[in-house]
Structure 1
Amino acid sequence: MQIGKLEHLIEVAKTESISLASQNLHSSQSGISQSIARIEDELGIEIFKRTRFGVIPTEKGKIIINKANEVLMKYQELLEAAGILNSSISCNWQLSATPIWMTQLLYLVLSYNKTYPNVNIEISEKKPLEIINDVLQNKIEFGLIQAYQNTIPKNEKLIFEVLLEKKMKVYVGQNSPLLHLKKVTPNDLINYSLVLYNDENILRFTNNFFIQHQPMNILLTSNNPEIIKKSVAEGLAISFAPGLMRTDPYVLNGEIVPLEISDYEAEHISLGYIRLAKKELSNITKEFLQLIKTRFKNGIELADD
């Protein structure tokens, strides 16, 4: 039995469609159908039932599909182990992340490339829902997002693992009158203009924060985090963001200062990665995630207020 046939089997089980599997694998429908038929003949088991709603695994077929997944994962581990021994792992790897992750990823990629110099990581900055769709469509192996605890994606096809939890903070310029306050309340911020990243979590927080107070003047909502940070640094407005932003160069240089919020019980924002539930992560991906966990443990968490 060839590995390629098992890949056909897994993709059909995932998509419940030979045509979709054909598109995803860039293979002909007849080729995929023949692979499935040969596996069923070889094992003497009907793996799929063909219905007008799609291709549905049988009960015995589900067992075979799970075993096929295990075989493919072991085969991938074999290839990666051989690559490490030969110091020749070479691939292009796509990763999507929300803006709050970007500064961290620069350090992580540099560290990761010391071990895997031939792995080219292409990072795309996207919104959480766009990243979730990329994972569901198998465009990326995993994505880095943030979400409120009660808005964490609930989908049986997905797993969201929390790596860190943070509270929202107010970010002001280095010359802001608010700097004499150790903590700020909603009333302290009423006369200030806001610049916000166009993210559902941040917008939701802002709405809830001022729900019992006079609405603030939102000067700008943007998908460009650099514009937002520059506006805050120049004293044009203030902004909200999770505590993870403390590692941003603007904050490290003192141009932007984070302030804690008082008189408001905010939900924690969970930062983590999202992936397909039935797809095991490759070893090189697991090592990248371990780098993130180590950095949070040894760096960011210890630097918390």
Structure 2
Amino acid sequence: MWENRFGQNAEILHEYNRYLNLSGGIHVNIEQFAYVSAIARTGSISIAAEQLHVSQAAISKAISKLEQELGFKLFIRSRLGTEATPRGRAVIEKIYDILVKIEEIKEEAQIESKHVEGEVRFSIGPNFTAAMTRSIISFKQDYPNVRLTISSKSSEEVIQDLLEDRADLGLIYFHNQKKEPPKDLTVHKMLDSRIVVCVGRGSPLASRKSVSPQELLAYPFVNIDGVFSNWYLEDFISKHGPVNCLFKSNNIELLKRTIAEGAAIGMFIEYSMLNDPFILSGEMVIVPMINHEPNTIPLGWARSANKHFSIAQREFLKYLMREYLNPNLKH
């Protein structure tokens, strides 16, 4: 059985032996590979040590020993951080491949025993939470042994979590489409979502099929205190004139409660309102906005391009995609 598993991964294991020349007296271990991967990913020995729960001295000693065995430097250390050398980058790419294959071998045992375990660290913007509740519940019912951790951040913080190995998967929106995503991220667009206006059910706008920016200027606003939301409001003001903004907050529940009570209106990504309790109860109403661009924003998921994409992570993503792309979701 194990012979078959190693046979399926023979090519990468052969590369492992060839590249590091184990028969020539070089002695390495997976722990050293993990250290190299963490330093390359974070650009810092101290951050790598913190993430791996080992001392900086232990990592430095292990890397120095590996560099001595190889006969060349993997990293250059400076005041600005730790960078891979040209020869080091070639080795690090091989190490990434080897670590991924090792995780795949481990997972094959899980598949055969039908016992998927592991951890999914999921980082999302606060706008996404209401729409994903059902997918989380369904996933945990089907995969009770997978540890699931969810943190709510801005899209910029989600990206940093992925790059610095604080998260495995992230949901983000791409409001700066001219900016290339970091090369160490794998990014996939899921859909485009409208920007809509949310009003209380007692608002004169609640019965409208659509509303123009000029009509919105007569009402107080509340706004999410985030990079995208602040940019969008500033863009709106620059095109249509000043608004009366009661307050900004990253407490989404506070914003929605203020809107539901009729004290203000707000602009939200439509998909963030799917299955929202305030919408489902009728306390808050969605009204499409016309005559303003951009009126849609791409939503997608991202993960580190240098890390193994585990079974647990892939399965969790399937449940999320099923929920977000479900045409029967209530608005």
Q: Decide: shared fold, TM above 0.5.
A: yes
**CA–CA distance in structure 1, aligned partners of residues 232 and 40 of structure 2:** 40
1:20-74 deviation digits (Å, cap 9, x = unpaired): 43333223445434544555566x5635154546654344433332222112112
Which residue is equivalent to 2:280? 252
Question: Does the aligned pair in 2 maintain the 1:94–1:121 contact within 8 Å?
Answer: yes
Structure 1 distance, partners of 2:153, 2:76, is 37
Of 271, 280, 283, 2:299 maps to: 271
Aligned partner of residue 150 in structure 1, secondary structure: coil
Deviations 1:206-265 (A, max 9, x none): 222233434221122122111111122222211110111133121122221111111222
What CA deviation, in whole Å up to 9, does each residue of 1:72-98 have, x standing for no partner? 112212223323433544445432211
Per the alignment, residue 70 of structure 1 pairs with 97
Partner of 1:10: 37
- Judging changes above 3 Å, is the alpha-carbon distance between structure 1 residues 288 and 197 closer, same or farther for their aligned structure 2 residues? same
SS for the counterpart of 1:167 is strand
Aligned length: 302
AA matched with 2:322: T
Q: SS of 1:221's equivalent? A: strand
Alpha-carbon separation, structure 1, partners of 2:37 and 2:102: 14
CA positional deviation for 1:8: 1.9
Aligned twin of 1:290: 318
- Larger mean Cα displacement after TM superposition, 210-219 or 64-73: 210-219
State the secondary structure of the residue aligned to 2:206.
helix
**Structure 2 match to 1:109:** 136
* Deviation for aligned residue 1:195: 1.6
Distance 1:36 1:193 in 2: 58
8 A Cα contact 1:153 1:160, kept in partner: no
Inter-CA distance 171–51: structure 2 relative to 1 (3 Å threshold)? closer
Q: Which piece of structure 1 moves more, 216-225 or 11-20?
A: 11-20
Q: Where does residue 155 of structure 1 map in the other structure?
A: 182
Which blocks of at least 5 consecutive residues in structure 1 are unaligned?
none
User: 1:86-125 maps to which residues of 2 (within 5 A)?
Assistant: 86-125=113-152
* Paired residue type of 1:26: H
Structure 2 alignment gaps of length 5 or more: 1-27
Counterpart Cα distance in 2 of 1:75 and 1:118 = 21
**1:161, distance to aligned residue in structure 2 (A):** 2.5
1:112-139 superposed Cα distances (whole Å, 9 cap, x missing partner): 1133101231222222233233223221
Q: 1:137 to 1:49 in 2, by over 3 A?
A: closer
TM-score by length of 2: 0.79
Is 1:46 the equivalent of 2:72? yes
Instruction: Indicate if the aligned counterparts of 2:210 and 2:287 stay in contact, CA closer than 8 A.
Output: yes
